[in-house]
Structure 1
Amino acid sequence: MVTVAIAVPCPASAFTLRVCADPNNLPFSNQAGEGLENKIVAIVASELHAQVVYTWWAERRGFIRETLNAGKCDLVPGTLSGMDMLRTTRPYYRSAYVFVTRAADRLTIGSLDDPVLRNKKIGVQLIGDDGANSPPAHALAQRGLVDNLRGYPIYGDYANPSPGRAIISALDRGDIDIAVVWGPTAGYFALQDPQKLDITPVASSPDQFLLPMVFDIAMGVRKDDEALRDEIETALSRRRADIATVLKEYNVPLVVSGTKEPKKP
């Protein structure tokens, strides 16, 4: 664990906004402040005239319990809206899982039920220390495609500067033909890729309520900290346009509120 103050211009009377985040988890956060959540936290802090102090903690099982709920910080950005362990703000963006393919392959994928998937190697993300399957991995396994799947940990090898890129690197090498990736991760690494990649939203399916592919993203505070939640929520609302600019810069595929289908980045 490392605690570091991040300079955000603010008056002498500013309060300290203590934030817990992963130090090596691009596109979301890193210790250099290069992640999209770092940028959005800075926007919020500017609106609140606050100085940001980060506690860096690898985002693994027990992250909320060992950081926010242990009193090491007061705010966690980039959480699922309505997460039970937290009091969350209204969502500030909504994204979805997407198919990622090499543009040169000219693959067209209509849905998780598309016959083209049956003879392709498909990369899926594994979540957590125990390698739990992501919603697309579960959905594809239920469709009899277990032998087609190749798993890549969502957090990857911490020795690498961008461990979350592993699944896209596998696509580049030809180890897999298709990757099914959380939208912000896919959009960000596609921007940087040496070859052109196509991103196609995972379409809604009959099992979407049991295995959702679309998620609302919010910020979280401790359950009893309603006052801070309200302050953060107000700041997010007031700076909506600036946050939208950050999401566009990071190529995040967005889903319009009230719909199930994401827009292509």
Structure 2
Amino acid sequence: MGTRCRSEAAPAPGVVHSVNPVAPTCRRAMRPIKLLGPIVLAAVVAGMTQSVPPRPLTDLRICGDPYNMPFSNDREEGFENKIAHVVAQDLNATVINYWWPERRGFLRNSILAGFCDVLINVPVGLDPVATTKAYYRSTYYFVYRTDRGLNLHSLDDTLLKHLKIGVNMIGYDYTNTPPAHALGSRGVVGLVGFGNFLNPDPKADHPQDIVDAVAKDSIDVAIVWGPKAGYWVKREAVPLTMVPLPDSDAVSGMPFAFDMAMGVRHRDKALKAQLDSVIDRRRGEIVAILRDYSVPMLEPHP
């Protein structure tokens, strides 16, 4: 099931185990089902009628993309990886990473399948999971070369109809991102799409491609989710300008700004409560990590 066998020596808190979903490192010993069946069934029935008391965490099983900076990667260089370790340290637990690319089927093949328990960075209210209290808020940004002399502040700017615009085509709800919808509502078509959500290979495209295209003058302007924009803009040799979009769009009705939180399965109420408490206790450290990754943050939504 993608977890560490109990026969292994338990590592100290903060030690990382990475799990390959294709080649699990170990398998648990099978016990006689006839002996355990009635006990397991009784426990399941009891669980349907009464709440389960919180149990101490020994493994903090994190769902992550192995190739999606600045969010996460399999070398644990992303801000989600760093935040996961803050959470694990607070809970005296061990981080175990379960890697699955954020492509079609990501939730179905990771947290909803039971291979991992926590998503570190999801929008508040993401339907398939239960979300914790928010720990930051960001929005989409125009990104363009500073030397182009553009002065974009709104999707209603008529200049956009004459520019080559890049957008990431897939959002958290697995449809086109809000800026793509909003531009379509204004008759702005011919967008240059980045990201291949249907390809299961996490290296099929690169997270920085959309910002690189602006720097190389392949496109005139990109509209990029804030954390990705801030991180990659800072790493370009060419000066780039970032301008935030408003919280929402009156024409399309699409939100552009999102409160971001952690996600768990709906039934994992005790785990959600633990994560809420960690966010309260360690908010300063979490925000400091986000700043280290140049994540542009808005005031939290009331």
TM-score range, shorter chain: 0.7 to 0.9
Q: Tell me, which stretches of 5 or more residues in structure 2 are unaligned?
A: 5-9, 16-55
1:9 CA drift (Å): 4.0
In the alignment, structure 1 residue 151 sits paired with structure 2 residue 193: yes
Q: Secondary structure at the match of 2:207?
A: helix
Change (3 A) 1:238 1:221: same
Change (3 A) 1:150 1:229: same
Q: How far apart are the structure 1 equivalents of 2:134 and 2:217?
A: 36
1:210 pairs with one of 250, 253, 259: 253
1:154 CA drift (Å): 6.7
Contact 1:8–1:42 (Cα < 8 Å) also in 2: no
Q: Could you state the TM-score of these two structures normalised by the residue count of structure 1? A: 0.87
In the alignment, structure 1 residue 65 sits paired with structure 2 residue 108: yes
Change (3 A) 1:229 1:205: closer
Q: How far apart are the structure 1 equivalents of 2:181 and 2:134?
A: 25
- Report which of the two structures shows the higher radius of gyration computed on alpha carbons: 2
Q: Tell me, which stretches of 5 or more residues in structure 1 are unaligned?
A: 260-265
1:206 CA drift (Å): 4.7
Q: Which residue of 2 aligns with 1:237?
A: 280
1:62 CA drift (Å): 1.9
1:64 CA drift (Å): 1.4
1:69 CA drift (Å): 1.6
Q: Could you state the TM-score of these two structures normalised by the residue count of structure 2? A: 0.77
Q: How far apart are the structure 2 equivalents of 1:138 and 1:126?
A: 10
CA RMSD of aligned residues (A): 2.6
1:123 pairs with one of 159, 163, 166: 166
Percent of aligned pairs with the same amino acid: 43
Q: Secondary structure at the match of 2:208?
A: helix
Contact 2:259–2:300 (Cα < 8 Å) also in 1: no
Equivalent AA in structure 2 for residue 150 of structure 1 = V
Q: How far apart are the structure 2 equivalents of 1:185 and 1:48?
A: 29
Q: How far apart are the structure 2 equivalents of 1:238 and 1:154?
A: 38
1:66 CA drift (Å): 1.4
Q: How far apart are the structure 2 equivalents of 1:190 and 1:16?
A: 35
In the alignment, structure 1 residue 28 sits paired with structure 2 residue 71: yes
Contact 1:3–1:56 (Cα < 8 Å) also in 2: no
Between 1 and 2, higher relative CO (CA 8 Å, sep ≥ 6) is seen in 1
Contact 1:17–1:75 (Cα < 8 Å) also in 2: yes
Q: How far apart are the structure 2 equivalents of 1:45 and 1:144?
A: 47
Q: For 1:73-129, what per-residue CA distance to the aligned partner results, in whole angstroms no more than 9, with x for missing partners? A: 11111111111111110111111000001111121112110122121111111117x
Q: Secondary structure at the match of 1:219?
A: strand
Q: How far apart are the structure 2 equivalents of 1:247 and 1:207?
A: 29
Q: Which residue of 2 aligns with 1:110?
A: 153
Q: Which residue of 2 aligns with 1:38?
A: 81
Q: How far apart are the structure 2 equivalents of 1:232 and 1:253?
A: 23
1:167 pairs with one of 210, 219, 223: 210
In the alignment, structure 1 residue 192 sits paired with structure 2 residue 249: no
1:176 pairs with one of 190, 195, 219: 219
Judging by fraction of residues, say which structure has more strand.
1
Q: Which residue of 2 aligns with 1:137?
A: 180
